[in-house]
C-alpha cells in the first residue's frame, strides 16, 4: 500500500486515477492518503502530476460539482413553488391563450415564466463567477441566495388563469 501526506482538500478521486488505482482502494486518515494496489513510485508520480496542474485536477471538477449543486437547488426551488405538472398545465394554457389570442391570460402566465427565467439567469451568473474563481475556498464560497426569488414569486395559480377569459 502506498501512502502520502496530503491536504484533505485534495481531490482523492483524481489522484487515484492518476496513480492507476481503483478509487475504492483509497482511504484518508490524519492527513495521509493510503492507496492500495499501487507502488509508492506510482503514487509519487501521480501526486507530482496532480500538484503541477491543480486547475485540471482540483478546480475544474470542483467548479462543475458546485455548478451542478446550485443548478439542482434552483430547479428544486422552482419546482417547490410550481411543481412540474403545474408548469405543464401553464404551458398548455399558454399555448391555448396564444392560439385564441387571449392576451390577458398570456400576460398573467408570463409572470411565472419571467420569474423562472430570472432564476435561470442567476444560475448562469453563478457559473460565470465560478469560471473565474481560482481557489477551492473561492469556489465553495459562491452560492445562490433564493430570498429575492421567494419575495418576487408572482404566486400565480391554474384556477386564476382559467378565470381569465379575456
Q: Would you state the cell numbers that stand for residue 73, as one nine-digit string?
A: 437547488
Angstrom distance (rounded) from CA 58 to CA 50: 8
At residue 4 the predicted structure's pLDDT band, cuts being 50, 70 and 90, is very high
Residues 6+ apart with CB under 8 A from 57: 11, 14, 15, 18, 49, 50
At residue 54 the predicted structure's pLDDT band, cuts being 50, 70 and 90, is very high
Angstrom distance (rounded) from CA 129 to CA 37: 39
The answer to whether residues 153 and 97 touch, using CB atoms and an 8 Å cutoff, is no
**Average pLDDT, integer, range 14-34:** 94
pLDDT digits (tens, 9 = 90+) for 134-146: 999 999 999 999 9
Angstrom distance (rounded) from CA 109 to CA 102: 11
Amino acid at each position: 500500500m502506498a501512502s502520502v501526506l496530503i491536504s484533505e482538500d485534495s481531490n482523492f478521486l483524481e489522484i487515484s486515477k492518476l496513480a492507476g488505482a481503483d478509487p475504492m482502494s483509497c482511504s484518508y486518515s490524519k492527513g495521509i492518503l493510503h492507496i492500495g494496489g499501487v507502488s509508492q513510485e506510482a503514487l509519487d508520480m501521480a501526486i507530482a502530476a496532480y500538484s503541477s496542474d491543480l486547475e485540471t485536477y482540483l478546480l475544474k471538477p470542483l467548479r462543475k460539482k458546485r455548478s451542478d449543486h446550485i443548478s439542482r437547488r434552483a430547479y428544486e426551488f422552482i419546482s417547490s413553488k410550481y411543481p412540474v405538472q403545474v408548469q405543464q398545465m401553464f404551458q398548455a394554457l399558454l399555448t391555448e391563450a396564444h392560439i385564441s389570442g387571449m392576451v390577458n391570460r398570456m400576460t398573467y402566465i408570463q409572470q411565472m415564466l419571467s420569474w423562472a427565467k430570472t432564476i435561470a439567469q442567476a444560475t448562469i451568473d453563478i457559473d460565470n463567477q465560478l469560471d473565474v474563481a481560482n481557489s477551492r475556498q473561492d469556489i465553495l464560497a459562491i452560492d445562490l441566495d433564493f430570498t429575492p426569488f421567494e419575495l418576487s414569486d408572482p404566486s400565480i395559480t391554474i384556477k386564476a388563469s382559467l378565470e381569465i377569459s379575456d
